[in-house]
Structure 1
Amino acid sequence: MPLSPLDLSLTTLRDLTGNWVRSGLTALGIFMGVAAVNATLNIDTIAHRVLQAQLAARDNPSVTAVVSGGRGRPAVEFDAAQMAELEQSVPGVASLSRVAYLWRVSEVRGAGTVTSNFQAMSISATYQRTTGRQVLEGRFFDAEDFDAFRPVAIIDTVLAQQLFETASPLGEGIFIDSTRFTVVGLIETKNIEGNEDGEPSGTLWVPEPYGNILTGSSRTWRHLEVGLRDLNDYDTVPDQVVAQLEQMFPGYDVYTWGNVQDLYEEDQRQQASLRVLKAVGLLSLVIGGVGIANITIAAIMERTREIGLRRAIGATDLEIMAQFIAEAALLSLIGGTAAVATVHGLTKVATTTVFEAPYEFNWRDAALSMGAAFGVGVGASFLPALRVTQIDVVQALRGE
C-alpha cells in the first residue's frame, strides 16, 4: 500500500525520534559543515563590503603613467591619437585623461579668505569619467569651457569649506594670483592611498587650456590617468601600459603607480585566505555527508525485516528509497538551519561588540548554505537507499 506524503512525514519523524543519539550526532555533523561554509560566506561578504567602502572613498581604480625623456627632449603631451591607441591596445582600460599639477599655484583667495592648503590641477574633459568623482552642486566642465578658454574652476568640499565655510561656492569668484575664476561646480573629496586617516587637503581643478596659461607656458608637463575597468585589472594593466608607452615613445623612461595598490594587495591576501576557509568548509560538509551515509546504511540493516514487509504488501522501491532519503534530508535541514542561525547570531555579536564591520543577514548566503546541506543529505543517502531495491523480499522477511 503506497504511503501518502503525510504518512511518509510521520514515519520519518517516528524513525528519527526513535534514536535521538544517532539522529543528534548526524545533525551535529551537518551543523559543523554548514557552520563552516556559512561563516566563510559571511566573512567573504563582509570583506567585500569593506573593500567596496574603501574603494568608494577613493577615485576609481587607476594607474598614473609618466613618460620622461630627461633633459634635451620635448615633454610628452599625449595627444588624442596616442591616447586612443593606448586605450585600444591595453585590455582593462576604461578611460584615459590628462592631468597636470599646477606647481606654480601656491595660494588661492575667495570670500576674503586665503589658503595654501590645497593642490591645483588642470584636467582634460574625460577626467570625471576616469576618476568617477561625483558633482555635488553645479556642473562639470563642458566643451565650451575648453574651447573658449573660460576662467572657470571646480573645487572640492574641503576647499569650499576653507574659503566659503557653509555658504554655497557656486557662481562665486576665487582668485589665483590676479586672475578671477568662477566656481561652476562643487565636487566630492576623495582620499588618496595611505591617507585614509589623515586630513585631506583641498583641491582645485581648471580646464586644461587654462592650466597652460597659469603655468606661463603653452606646453605643460603632464601625466596620464589610466582608469581601470575592475580592481583585478591592476594585476596586468600597469605592465601592459608600460610596455605600450615604451613602444610608442622609444628612448623615453616610463614610470607608473596606482591609487589602489594597497587595496589590491589586501584583496589578494583575503581571497587566498578565503579559498583555504572554503576548502575547510567543504571538507567539513563531506565529513558530514559520510556520517549520513553510514547512518543510512545502519538504519537499512536494522530495519531489513520492516523493509521486506512493506515491499511484500505493495510498497514500491521508490517509496522505500524516499523514506530513507527523507530522513537524511530532514536531519540535514535541521542541522543546516541551526548552523545558519548560530553563525548569524555570533557574527552579529562579533561585528557589533568585538570589532565594527558592515554585516547584515544575507539571504543568498543562507540559501547557499542550506542548499549545500540539503544536497549533502540527499546525495549521501541516495546510494545506501538505492541498495534497498536490491534486497530480496523473502530474505528480508527472514531478517537476513
Structure 2
Amino acid sequence: MDLRDSFRNATRAIFAAKMRSFLTMLGIIIGIAAVVMLMGVGNGTKKSILSRMQSSGSGNLYLTAGARSNVLMGGGGPGGPGERSGVSSGAKITEEDLAYIEARVTYSIVVSPTNQTNITIKNGDTTMSGTGIFATPTYFEVDNVTIADGRMISTSDIDNRTRNVVIGATVQTTLFPNESAVGQPIRINGASYNVVGVATAKGETVGSSVDTAIVLPFSDGEKSFGVVHNVVQRTTIKCVDPTQSSAVTTEITDILTRKHKKVDFSIQDVAAMTALLTSSMTTLTTLLAAIGGLSLLVGGIGIMNIMLVSVTERTREIGIRKALGARERDILVQFLIESSLLSIAGGALGIVISVLGSDFIVSRFTTTSITGSSILLAVGFSIAVGVFFGVYPARTAARLKPVDALRFE
C-alpha cells in the first residue's frame, strides 16, 4: 500500500467520526490560538515600548536630580507627570550644573533642559488639559520634535520671556479644528499666549507626549507657573555620536560627582535601557509562549487518547488488513497520518482564530503584533504534536498480531 492509499484511509477514518474528530482537534485549536495570541501580545508590547524609546533618540541620556528616577513614566517634577520617587532631600540640577558639564565634556553633545507642569488650555469655549513643557530651542533637536506649521521657540523668546508658544498636534485639532492655530491667541491657566508654531504629530515618547503639550520658553516657567528658580527637573543630553553614549554617561557622572561631592543625580541611557528592555521582553514573550504551550500538551494528550480508542475500535479491521498482506509499516504510517492531520487541521483553525481574535478583540485592549515567525512556530508545533502523540497509538496498532486482532470482539 502506497502513501496515497494511507492518506485516503486516514482521511476516511477522520470524516467517519466528524464530531469526535472536531472535539479531538479542539485542544490543539485552543493551544495554537493561545500560543500565537500570547506571542502577539508580547511582541506588540515590545515594539510599542521600543518605538517610544527610539523615537526620543537612541543616543539620548536623561539627567535628573536624585539617586533614583522614574523617567520612563513621565517628565518628573513635583505636581507634574511622572513624579520621581526616592529623590535625595535637597538634591537638584541647576542651569549652572549644565553649563559646568558642557564646558568639561570632551565629547560632542547637545543639552536640553526642561521643566514640566500640568496646565489647562483654552480657546473660546473649548478647554482641555495638557502638559506645559518649558524648554530651550535645543529641545526640538534633542527630542526629535519637528514643526508642521509656523516656527519653533527661539533664543529671543527665552531671553525676552515672551509669551510665544508651540502647541502639539492634538492641541491644534482640539482647539483649532477648522483653522491654522499659528498667530492665534490661546489661554493657558487663564493667561493669554500667542501660538507661533504647531509641532508635527509624534505620539508618546519617553517622558511625555508633545502632541498634548504646549512648549513654552524655558524662562517663562519661573515667571508665571511657579517653577523654582534655577532648577531643572529633567535634562536630555543628546550624544552626536550615539555609539559614545556609554562613555558620555561615565564622563558626566565623574564631572557632576566632583562638583556635587556626592552622587545625588541619575543618568539614564536610552541605548542601555533599550537593550535591557529588549532582553526582558524577549524573555517575557518566550514565557508567554511556554504558558500557551501547556494547552498544546493537553491537546496532544487528547489526540493520543482518541487514537488509542480508534485503535481499539478498529482492531478487527487491522487484523483483516494484516491478514491480506499489509505490513506493520503500512499500519504505522496510516495512523501517524491520521493523528498528524488532526493536529495540522486543528493548528490551522487555531491560527485563523488567533489572527481574527488579535485583530478584532485583543487589539482593543493592548498592542498586538502577530509575526510570520510565530505562525511558523505554531505550524511546527502542531505537526510535532501530531507526530509525537500519534507514535504510541500507531505502534500499538502496527504491532497487533493478525490472529489476535481477528479474535477481538
TM-score of Structure 1 vs Structure 2, range by shorter chain:
0.5 to 0.7
Counterpart for residue 366 of structure 1: 375
**Aligned residues of 2:60 and 2:236 also touching (Cα < 8 A):** no
**Aligned residues of 1:157 and 1:189 also touching (Cα < 8 A):** no
CA separation in 2, counterparts of 1:227 and 1:330? 57
Instruction: Please list the CA deviations of residues 57-103 of structure 1 after superposition, one character each: whole Å capped at 9, or x if unmatched.
Output: 5333732348989999x9344657x44xxxxxxxxxxxx62425599
Aligned in 2, Cα 1:288/1:356: closer, same or farther, shift over 3 Å?
closer
Number of residue-to-residue matches in the alignment: 313
Aligned in 2, Cα 1:229/1:311: closer, same or farther, shift over 3 Å?
farther
**Aligned residues of 1:333 and 1:370 also touching (Cα < 8 A):** yes
Q: Does 1:196 pair with 2:196?
A: no
Instruction: Please list the CA deviations of residues 244-281 of structure 1 after superposition, one character each: whole Å capped at 9, or x if unmatched.
Output: 655577634453344879x9799899778756543331
Q: Does 1:395 pair with 2:394?
A: no
CA separation in 2, counterparts of 1:227 and 1:325? 61
CA separation in 1, counterparts of 2:240 and 2:342? 51
CA separation in 1, counterparts of 2:19 and 2:135? 73
Q: 1:347 aligns with which of 333, 342, 358?
A: 358
Instruction: Please list the CA deviations of residues 29-62 of structure 1 after superposition, one character each: whole Å capped at 9, or x if unmatched.
Output: 1112112112212323432443355346533373
**Aligned residues of 1:102 and 1:121 also touching (Cα < 8 A):** yes
Aligned in 2, Cα 1:78/1:313: closer, same or farther, shift over 3 Å?
farther
**Aligned residues of 1:12 and 1:327 also touching (Cα < 8 A):** yes
Cα deviation, residue 331, structure 1: 1.0
Aligned in 2, Cα 1:71/1:303: closer, same or farther, shift over 3 Å?
closer
Counterpart for residue 38 of structure 2: 40
**Aligned residues of 2:41 and 2:368 also touching (Cα < 8 A):** no
- In the TM superposition, what are the counterparts of 1:13-162 in structure 2 within 5 Å? 13-55=11-53, 57-60=55-58, 62-65=60-63, 75-77=100-102, 82-83=106-107, 97-99=109-111, 101=113, 121=136
SS at 1:59's partner residue? Answer: coil
Identity rate of aligned residues, in percent?
Answer: 22
Cα deviation, residue 290, structure 1: 1.0
Which residue type is aligned with residue 97 of structure 1? I
Aligned in 2, Cα 1:330/1:50: closer, same or farther, shift over 3 Å?
same
Counterpart for residue 2 of structure 2: 3
**Aligned residues of 1:157 and 1:188 also touching (Cα < 8 A):** no
CA separation in 2, counterparts of 1:282 and 1:358? 21
Aligned in 2, Cα 1:66/1:3: closer, same or farther, shift over 3 Å?
closer
Q: 1:381 aligns with which of 372, 390, 407?
A: 390
SS at 1:64's partner residue? Answer: strand
Q: Does 1:328 pair with 2:339?
A: yes
* Structure 2 unpaired stretches of 5+: 66-92, 116-131, 150-164, 173-178, 181-197, 218-234
Q: Does 1:251 pair with 2:249?
A: no
The CA RMSD measured in Å over matched residues stands at 5.4
* Structure 1 unpaired stretches of 5+: 84-95, 104-116, 138-155, 167-185, 205-221, 231-236
SS at 1:195's partner residue? Answer: coil
CA separation in 1, counterparts of 2:376 and 2:285? 19
**Aligned residues of 1:64 and 1:223 also touching (Cα < 8 A):** yes
The normalised TM-score by structure 1 is 0.57
CA separation in 2, counterparts of 1:395 and 1:256? 79
